[in-house]
Amino acid sequence: MHISACLFDLDGVIVDTAKYHYLAWRRLANSLGFDFSEAQNEQLKGVSRMQSLQIILEMGGLQRSESELDKLAAQKNEWYLAYVDEMTPDEILPGVVSFLEDLQQSGIRIGLGSASKNARRILDHIGLTHFFDTIIDGNQTTRGKPDPQVFLLGAQALGVDPNHCVVFEDAPKGVEAALAGGFYAIGIGSADHLGHAHLVIPGFEDIDHQVFAQLPPQ
């Protein structure tokens, strides 16, 4: 088995921007006259912006017209980006930089596959853009995970076959997308949620490219 490339999801794998989505949604709920808790926020994981907005409005017992929905979604995104623009390299998750350096030195190509339309902006703020040979994000994709489109576009851009490429994901739908595309999938987090991945690791601390030796033959 020869691994020639890696594709990374962004949120929860390289950096944690989920807290900023929560703060922006909570600010929106507050502006509409009700509060929104972290427990309620769990319902929004892996859900699109417009679906998330509908869920929050239902929590507040509110209804809005189509044009008002667009305005509210735009307002939330503006607040979210204001938080993103304050991000620094301190927010990179532990072990990520040394792992990316190891891949680069080993001649393994590196790509990003994220649903976020702000992926490049986030990478610029945390100083990681230079590691990535390609960045595929929500601006280039038409189908969300568990559809494998984002990863297939990444493999195509890197010039590699999916069966020589490892996808790093922290979400069950992301792992499903990787498997559907014929990639190796390494889950970042807990086997309870990511047991369908080929391998699950808690994070990137003390990990280098030798971890690929633990992958089963495809």
Distance (Å, whole) CA 125 – CA 182: 32
Residues 134/156, Cβ–Cβ less than 8 Å: no
End residue of a domain, out of 65, 84, 103: 84
Check which CATH number belongs to the domain holding 57 and give it: 1.10.150.240
Which pLDDT belongs to residue 42? 85
| DSSP code for 90 | G
Half-sphere exposure of 190 (CA within 13 A, CB side): 2
Check which CATH number belongs to the domain holding 133 and give it: 3.40.50.1000
Does residue 146 have a cis bond before it (omega within 30 degrees)? Answer: yes
Half-sphere exposure of 11 (CA within 13 A, CB side): 19
End residue of a domain, out of 55, 84, 113: 84
pLDDT 10s digits, 34-62 = 999 999 998 887 677 888 999 999 999 99
pLDDT 10s digits, 173-214 = 999 999 999 999 999 999 998 999 999 999 999 999 999 999
Least confident of 93-107, 136-150, 196-210: 136-150
Shared-domain flag, residues 187 and 102: yes
Q: Where are the alpha helices (DSSP H) in 96-135?
A: 96-105, 119-126
Shared-domain flag, residues 96 and 162: yes
Shared-domain flag, residues 39 and 71: yes
Shared-domain flag, residues 109 and 182: yes
Q: What is the mean pLDDT of residues 129-147?
A: 94
Please provide the DSSP assignment of 2-17 as one string. ---EEEE-SBTTTB--
What's the domain count of the chain? 2
Q: What is the mean pLDDT of residues 127-148?
A: 94
Shared-domain flag, residues 117 and 71: no
pTM of the model: 0.89
Shared-domain flag, residues 130 and 156: yes
Half-sphere exposure of 32 (CA within 13 A, CB side): 26
Catalytic residue among 11, 133, 147, 170: 11
Which pLDDT belongs to residue 152? 98
pLDDT for 104 beyond 90: yes
H/E stretch holding 113 reads: strand 109-113
Q: What is the mean pLDDT of residues 141-157?
A: 94
- What sign does the CA torsion over 80, 73, 78, 119 have? positive
Shared-domain flag, residues 168 and 190: yes
End residue of a domain, out of 84, 117, 140: 84
Q: How far apart are the first and last CA of the chain?
A: 8
Domain that holds residue 34: 18-84
- Whether residue 9 lies in the annotated active site: yes
- Whether residue 192 lies in the annotated active site: no
pLDDT 10s digits, 4-36 = 999 999 999 999 998 999 999 999 999 999 999
Residues 6+ apart with CB under 8 A from 194: 169, 170, 172, 175, 187, 188, 200
